[in-house]
């Protein structure tokens, strides 16, 4: 990402009315399927593993391979788009995403499927920042908040809908459909986007290739993502391999920082962190998005494992958090220009923290709606946190740095989701085991329940199994409630951090952005 200002695209007759919103829907659809594929395979791993004749641990490479490739390409998108053109890169990435999705769907071996997922991640990762930039490029300045709200809405709703769609397709049809559904969307979106948006292409920048920075980025991101994805199944730092990945990630990250701060044409411009508002906004979005992602990962796991929900019903339950998010996102976009965005962000995060506090008193005999109502309320807070925060963060950097800022913001948001997923699932299992050990002496101390069950005709093994199942269910419930306390604390911390940022001095204008 070069420091040089990006030349403005040549003046063209702007899109208006229905054509403008058609272009907006096309861009939003691209962002939606790219984000959707971050989570759609999560509940499908058992089906994929059984079909290909591999273990569940090998099946997790389906998720890991996409995450690693996506995490690498997101911060590079600005440089690639500046060199080849944002619209050209977007249309090409969309076509490649469809082709790679088809490759995943027809895969009959783990190796071919992983290759398809890597290529899918490399193409899909660039769609997120490019769709954001092009939305703001085609919308008039006065309608920029509406564009930001549309992009944020798809970014928030897609990860929630991913497990639902993945669970339903696997339960009702077959796992290849989770990939095949991308193909018609890609074939439709790519040519329409090129025809409608090529007039907005900016002059190209022939910045030198920072090969050392690129190599260091690939090394440290790959090592970190693999450590996060594989750590739990290998008992974390008890494993030599995980320790080696941690060392490689740490050394690679330190070398990357040193190189990029001293390189004349860095591939990722880290100097944008000199802006206090950008740094505070990125910390806020990392904490807040990580907390949200952690809660969204844990909820369907709990519902499927211990509440008797199928994958489809667990997905439908968690989907409620996206309902009011869709309704409130346009309102949040309109309020950006009228209200200090820090107040909107603080209010949204405070509401999310309060919802999480409510979820800390959950019980194993909760009804469907007792579980769903807090998730519905989450949908109010999410857009007021995410929409103005995106605008504030990019409004705190200089205009020619917007490309670097958008890429880094998307990269750290993606990375925070990966870190949160590993941290939450590991802590959940550890706390469940610890609580099980603590509670084992308190269940039926006098033996009355065991005696009653035995008298009803159960064998000794059946009695012990039933009591252990009851104990495990309560241990999981208590562990889940404790994790929700931590999620609430993360939301509160992110709400406090946003006040470090000054009020932005300009509105977001990405018409000069490189990606």
Mean pLDDT over each residue of the chain, to the nearest integer: 81
Work out the average pLDDT over 458-484. Answer: 78
Whether 468 has a pLDDT exceeding 80, the answer reads no
CA dihedral sign, ordered 353, 355, 360, 364? negative
pLDDT at 4 over 80: no
State the Cα–Cα distance between residues 110 and 57, nearest whole angstrom.
12
Residues 6+ apart with CB under 8 A from 170: 43, 44, 47, 178, 311
Question: How far apart are alpha carbons 133 and 118 in whole angstroms?
Answer: 24
Report the alpha-carbon distance of residue 167 to residue 156 in Å, rounded: 19
Q: How confident is the model at residue 13 (pLDDT cuts 50, 70, 90)?
A: low
d(CA 236, CA 508): 42
Q: What is the pLDDT of residue 439?
A: 77
pLDDT, one tens digit per residue, over 39-90 is: 787 777 777 878 888 766 667 678 777 877 887 888 788 778 878 888 899 9
Most confident of the ranges 15-24, 127-136, 493-502: 493-502
Residue 115 exposed, middle or buried by CB count within 10 Å (0-12, 13-18, 19+): middle
pLDDT computed for residue 355 by the predictor: 93
Of 450 and 79, more confident: 79
Q: How far, in Å, CA of 495 to CA of 267, rounded?
A: 31
The 10s digit of each residue's pLDDT in 395-416 is: 788 776 776 777 788 788 878 8
Count each helix (H run) and each strand (E run) in the chain, helices first: 20, 0
Q: What is the pLDDT of residue 452?
A: 67
Q: What band does 9 get if pLDDT is binned at 50, 70 and 90?
A: very low
Q: Out of 34-43, 167-176, 373-382, pick the least confident.
A: 34-43
Checking if the pLDDT of 504 tops 70, the result is no
Give this prediction's pTM: 0.77
Residues whose CB falls within 8 Å of the CB of residue 387, separated by 6 or more in sequence, listed in order: 145, 148, 149, 152, 329, 332, 333, 336, 344
Residue 161: exposed, middle, or buried by beta-carbon count in 10 A (0-12, 13-18, 19+)?
buried
Within 10 A of 310 (CB to CB), how many other CB atoms are there? Answer: 14
The pLDDT assigned to 320 comes to 83
- Percent of the chain residues topping a pLDDT of 90: 19
Residue 67 · residue 229 · CB < 8 Å: yes
- How does pLDDT run across 106-124, given as a tens digit for each residue? 988 888 998 999 899 888 8
163 vs 131, higher pLDDT: 131
Average pLDDT of the residues in 416-421? 79
Asked whether the predicted pLDDT for residue 513 surpasses 60, the reply is: no
Q: What is the pLDDT of residue 2?
A: 40
Q: What is the pLDDT of residue 149?
A: 75
* Helix ranges restricted to H, 107-239: 110-138, 144-172, 177-180, 182-197, 211-230
CB atoms within 10 A of CB 237: 11
Q: At 1, is the pLDDT very low, low, confident or very high (cuts 50, 70, 90)? A: very low
Nearest to 236 by CA among 26, 483, 426: 426
Task: List CB contacts of 365: < 8 A, sequence separation 6 or more.
Answer: none
What's the rounded mean pLDDT across residues 135-143?
Answer: 76
pLDDT category, 284, cuts 50, 70, 90? very high
Tell the burial category of 170 from Cβ atoms under 10 Å away from its Cβ (0-12, 13-18, 19+): buried
Q: What is the spatial distance between Cα 122 and Cα 202, in angstroms, rounded to a whole number?
A: 23
- Choose between 57 and 323: higher pLDDT: 323
> What one-character DSSP code corresponds to residue 365?
T
Q: What is the pLDDT of residue 403?
A: 67
How confident is the model at residue 506, as a pLDDT? 55
For the cut 90, the answer to whether the pLDDT of residue 338 exceeds it is: no
Which of these, 291, 509, 500, lies nearest to 386 by C-alpha position? 291
Q: How far apart are CA 42 and CA 117, in angstroms?
A: 13
């Amino acid at each position: 990402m070069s420091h040089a200002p990006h030349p403005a695209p040549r003046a063209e007759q702007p899109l208006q009315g229905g054509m403008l919103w058609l272009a907006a829907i096309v861009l939003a659809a691209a962002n939606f399927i790219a984000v959707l594929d971050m989570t759609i395979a999560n509940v499908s791993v058992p089906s994929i593993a059984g079909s290909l004749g591999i273990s569940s641990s090998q099946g997790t490479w389906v998720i890991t391979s996409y995450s690693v490739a996506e995490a690498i390409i997101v911060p590079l998108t600005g440089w690639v788009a500046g060199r080849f053109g944002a619209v050209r890169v977007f249309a090409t990435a969309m076509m490649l995403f469809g082709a790679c999705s088809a490759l995943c769907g027809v895969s009959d071996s783990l190796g071919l499927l992983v290759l398809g997922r890597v290529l899918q991640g490399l193409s899909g990762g660039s769609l997120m920042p490019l769709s954001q930039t092009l939305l703001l490029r085609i919308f008039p300045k006065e309608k920029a908040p509406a564009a930001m709200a549309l992009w944020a809405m798809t970014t928030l709703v897609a990860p929630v809908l991913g497990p639902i769609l993945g669970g339903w397709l696997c339960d009702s049809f077959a796992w290849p459909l989770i990939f095949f559904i991308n193909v018609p969307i890609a074939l439709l979106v790519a040519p329409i986007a090129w025809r409608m948006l090529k007039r907005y292409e900016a002059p190209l920048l022939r910045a030198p290739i920072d090969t050392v920075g690129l190599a260091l980025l690939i090394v440290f991101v790959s090592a970190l993502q693999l450590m996060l994805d594989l750590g739990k199944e290998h008992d974390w730092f008890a494993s030599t391999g995980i320790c080696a990945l941690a060392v490689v990630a740490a050394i690679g990250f330190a070398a990357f920082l040193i190189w990029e701060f001293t390189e004349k044409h860095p591939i990722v411009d880290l100097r944008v962190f000199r802006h206090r508002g950008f740094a505070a906004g990125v910390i806020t979005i990392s904490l807040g998005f990580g907390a949200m992602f952690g809660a969204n990962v844990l909820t369907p796991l709990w519902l499927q494992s211990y509440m008797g929900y199928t994958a489809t019903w667990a997905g439908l339950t968690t989907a409620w958090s996206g309902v009011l998010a869709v309704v409130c996102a346009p309102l949040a976009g309109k309020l950006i220009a009228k209200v200090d965005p820090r107040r909107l962000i603080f209010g949204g995060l405070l509401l999310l923290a309060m919802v999480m506090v409510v979820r800390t008193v959950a019980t194993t005999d909760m009804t469907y709606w007792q579980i769903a109502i807090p998730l519905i309320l989450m949908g109010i807070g999410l857009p007021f946190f995410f929409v103005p925060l995106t605008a504030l963060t990019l409004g705190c950097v200089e205009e020619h740095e917007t490309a670097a800022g958008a890429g880094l913001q998307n990269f750290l948001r993606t990375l925070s989701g990966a870190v949160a997923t590993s941290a939450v699932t590991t802590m959940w299992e550890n706390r469940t085991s610890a609580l099980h050990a603590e509670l084992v002496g308190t269940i039926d101390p006098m033996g009355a329940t065991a005696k009653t069950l035995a008298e009803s005709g159960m064998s000794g093994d059946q009695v012990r199994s039933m009591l252990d199942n009851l104990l495990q269910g309560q241990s999981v419930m208590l562990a889940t409630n404790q994790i929700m306390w931590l999620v609430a604390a993360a939301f509160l911390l992110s709400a406090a951090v946003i006040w470090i940022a000054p009020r932005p001095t300009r509105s977001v204008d990405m018409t000069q952005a490189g990606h």
